[in-house]
């Protein structure tokens, strides 16, 4: 029987070839162990504290499976059959608490995994993606037109930023990304907005003829756990554009400004999580050159 240590070592061995940007996978902690072939999974219950702002993007409770094991991408002839993943998921789901959403995150390189998960009622929720900071910044076509500018965020923008984040949250909720009608939603959005305007060096807003059209910001250093192998990683916490001005270049201008700031700061990588099924968000980030690394799947 494959041990968790051996499965983790095996996953890290093939990960460095497929996704050099990903940080090494660690030994997960959990309540129940599952195994199938050379795959091992550790299940645990997640209960975000309602007072934590990030809880607005997660269900109140979920049962999560962390999978470790050898390469199932098909590149390694000694890799386990994709059937092992099916057996692992079936074993986990059979013993999971009734009525609790199930979720797991897998590298996008696991060929065959989407079919296995979809056949069992799972849907992609969010994707973690990265973009290397390299080359020279390109001038924004959006800001070259009259009445449009990018500027530093100010304290007067707090309510407007909260409104933009509320639009983003609603769009993600509609796309079933995990965002939900949290009882403290407005309070948490205002808290996020306050943190954005309190550290203006990390944020940029787009203004369209005096209207607050969009906002983008980096997470403050130390507030988001690093998930890549790069020491100089910057995490894009939010990029939100008001619905009436989407698909007009505002978002690309905001991300371009963040990229320029990251380059000036000596960063190597930009990282972001986006709604995998959000019809506006997912195509946008791919157009900006972000490469998907892992995807979170969930079954309600």
Phi and psi at residue 252, to the nearest 5°:
-65, -40
Least confident of 3-17, 26-40, 193-207, 237-251: 3-17
Domain-ending residue, one of 121, 150, 182: 121
Residue 83 structural domain: 4-121
Q: Is residue 143 part of a domain?
A: yes
Average pLDDT (102-129) is 92
Q: Is the pTM of this model over 0.85?
A: yes
**Domain of residue 163, CATH code:** 3.40.630.30
**Structure confidence at residue 177 (pLDDT):** 87
Average pLDDT (71-88) is 70
Cβ atoms within 10 Å of 27's Cβ, excluding its own: 12
**Structure confidence at residue 38 (pLDDT):** 81
pLDDT tens-digit series, residues 144-171: 899 999 999 999 999 999 999 999 999 9
Contact (Cβ atoms closer than 8 angstroms) between residue 251 and residue 259: no
Q: Is residue 41 part of a domain?
A: yes
**CA dist., res. 248 & res. 230, Å (int):** 32
**CA dist., res. 200 & res. 204, Å (int):** 7
**Structure confidence at residue 1 (pLDDT):** 52
Listing DSSP states for 80-93 in one string gives PPHHHHHHHHHHHH
**Is pLDDT at 74 greater than 70 in this prediction?**
no
Cβ atoms within 10 Å of 122's Cβ, excluding its own: 21
Q: Tell which wins on pLDDT, 21 or 104.
A: 104
**Structure confidence at residue 139 (pLDDT):** 74
Are both 142 and 229 inside the same structural domain?
yes
Contact (Cβ atoms closer than 8 angstroms) between residue 182 and residue 188: yes
Are both 17 and 112 inside the same structural domain?
yes
Are both 10 and 45 inside the same structural domain?
yes
Q: How many domains does the chain have?
A: 2
Domain-ending residue, one of 87, 121, 155: 121
**CA dist., res. 205 & res. 275, Å (int):** 21
**Structure confidence at residue 152 (pLDDT):** 95
pLDDT tens-digit series, residues 188-237: 999 999 999 999 999 999 999 999 999 999 999 888 888 998 889 999 99
Instruction: Give the pLDDT band (50/70/90) at residue 178.
Output: confident
Instruction: Give the pLDDT band (50/70/90) at residue 289.
Output: very high
């Amino acid at each position: 029987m494959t041990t968790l240590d051996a499965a983790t070592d095996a996953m890290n061995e093939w990960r460095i070839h497929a996704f050099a940007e990903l940080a090494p996978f660690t030994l997960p902690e959990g309540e129940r162990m599952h195994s199938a072939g050379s795959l091992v999974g550790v299940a645990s219950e997640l209960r975000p504290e309602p007072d934590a702002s990030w809880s607005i993007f997660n269900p109140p409770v979920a049962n999560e499976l962390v999978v470790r094991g050898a390469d199932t991408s098909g590149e390694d002839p000694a890799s386990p059959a994709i059937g092992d993943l099916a057996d692992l998921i079936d074993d986990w789901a059979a013993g999971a608490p009734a009525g609790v959403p199930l979720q797991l995150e897998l590298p996008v390189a696991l060929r065959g995994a989407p079919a296995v998960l979809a056949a069992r009622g799972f849907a992609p929720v969010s994707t973690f993606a990265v973009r290397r900071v390299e080359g020279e910044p390109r001038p924004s076509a959006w800001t070259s037109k009259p009445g449009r500018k990018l500027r530093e965020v100010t304290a007067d923008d707090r309510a407007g930023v909260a409104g933009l984040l509320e639009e983003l949250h609603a769009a993600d909720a509609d796309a079933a990304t995990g965002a939900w009608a949290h009882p403290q939603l407005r309070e948490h959005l205002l808290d996020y907005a306050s943190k954005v305007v309190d550290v203006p060096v990390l944020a940029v807003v787009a203004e369209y003829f005096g209207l607050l059209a969009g906002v983008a910001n980096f997470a403050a250093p130390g507030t988001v756990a690093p998930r890549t192998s790069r020491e100089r990683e910057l995490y894009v916490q939010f990029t939100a554009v008001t619905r009436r001005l989407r698909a007009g270049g505002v978002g690309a201008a905001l991300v371009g400004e963040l990229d320029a700031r990251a380059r000036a700061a000596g960063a190597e990588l930009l990282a972001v999580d986006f709604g995998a099924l959000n019809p506006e968000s997912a195509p946008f980030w791919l157009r900006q050159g972000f490469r998907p690394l892992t995807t979170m799947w969930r079954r309600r």
